[in-house]
Structure 1
Amino acid sequence: MITATPRPATAQPGALCPPAPGAPSVRPARSDDATALAALSRPYARSGALRERPLNQYVSEAPDFLVVEAPDGTLEGCVGLSVHGAEPGAGRPAAGVLYNFCVAGHRQGAGLGARLLLAALARARSRSLQTLFAATTGGGRLFLRHGFAPVCPDQAPATWARSLDPRREARVLARTV
């Protein structure tokens, strides 16, 4: 008789564990989150870390966003993921761009950014994207810790790369999904 020892189950890369009771949860944004998304992003836009966006843009782009929601319903972080179709002439497959990534100041360092990034990676995989890009005016430590590396902007989706404001001196980072 041959017997096999069962192996412990392994988590899928990027799979999220359900949050502990009373912990913030990550979920897709809804259009009624637009006002909270704008309020959460405002301090970062004022500092120059994010682009200023009007409320109607948050309403229309809400389906792009993932949010971290506290048990009381307050949004404590967000990230947008826009999908850019393949550019066969440039030899680029479909790619994603992370944008408007922020975590409320009082929640910095609590791991919410990492949870958002892992959820965005899982969403990108579910949409069969090959690469994720981001632009940062900061050090990009979170991105670098999660496998992103600096790339030339011309490797990114052309429409997005052209939209980057050179005065902001953002670094473009990418990683394979």
Structure 2
Amino acid sequence: MPRPGLRSEPVAVVRPAGRSDAAAVHRLSVPFAREGALRYRPASRYARDAADFLVAETAHGDLAGCVALRARSDARGRAAAVLYNFCVAEGSQGRGIGSALLRAVLAEAAARGAARVFTATAGSGLLFLRHGFVVGGEEEAPPGWRSRLDPARGSRVLVCALT
């Protein structure tokens, strides 16, 4: 939901990222990693994992945000996905870009057959909650992924049921 007083910035496209987007996604993500909101990843990792990412571009062609999705099995072996590295450029926050990315990544997860999408946040999680996520689900989250959560940052698990 856009913030009051901010003009909504149209997203020209939410599209799959390519390896050529890796440097821009890295630049977008670094400030969030510095703040502790994201796990730091080197630029080479973004290039390697480019197929996991969706990016949002403004009508002017600027990269405004990104989100990654990786298929996993939950603790019971059911098809699931993990949403990670979700960020929106500071100047684009509150303009509906995060919502556009979140809608697109949830549609992608459903298209891939995931029954649930898990994410973790050290923030409020309000955007996730507005899009159907609920707090909890640690015991159902993919086992390998759970061990990477950072309790020192106050990470919480959120889950969205797609089916």
Does the TM-score normalized on the shorter chain lie above 0.5? yes
Deviation per CA, 1:73-114: give whole Å up to 9, x if none: 321000000111x36xx4230110110000000011100000
Stretch of structure 1 that moved more, 160-169 or 48-57: 160-169
Whether 1:162 and 2:147 are equivalent positions in the alignment is: yes
Distance 1:152 1:109 in 2: 27
Q: Which amino acid aligns with 2:62?
A: T
Q: Which residue of 1 aligns with 2:58?
A: 70
Distance 1:119 1:175 in 2: 14
Q: Which residue of 2 aligns with 1:98?
A: 83
The number of aligned residues is: 153
Q: Which residue of 2 aligns with 1:19?
A: none
Q: Which residue of 2 aligns with 1:5?
A: none
- Aligned pairs for 1:1-177 (under 5 A) are 23-84=11-72, 86=73, 90-177=75-162
Cα 1:82–1:23, aligned 2, differ >3 Å: closer, same or farther? closer
Asked which structure has the greater CA Rg, the reply is: 1
Please report how far the alpha carbon of residue 137 of structure 1 lies from its aligned counterpart in structure 2 after TM superposition: 0.5
Can you give the 5+ residue segments of structure 1 that lack an aligned partner in the other structure?
Answer: 1-21
Q: Which residue of 2 aligns with 1:16?
A: none
Distance 1:54 1:164 in 2: 19
Give the strand-richer structure, 1 or 2: 2
SS of 2:147's partner is helix
TM-score (norm: length of structure 1): 0.82
Q: Which runs of 4+ in 1 moved over 6 A?
A: none
Can you give the 5+ residue segments of structure 2 that lack an aligned partner in the other structure?
Answer: 1-9
Relative CO higher for 1 or 2, CA cutoff 8 Å, sep ≥ 6? Answer: 2
Stretch of structure 1 that moved more, 36-45 or 163-172: 163-172
RMSD: 1.3
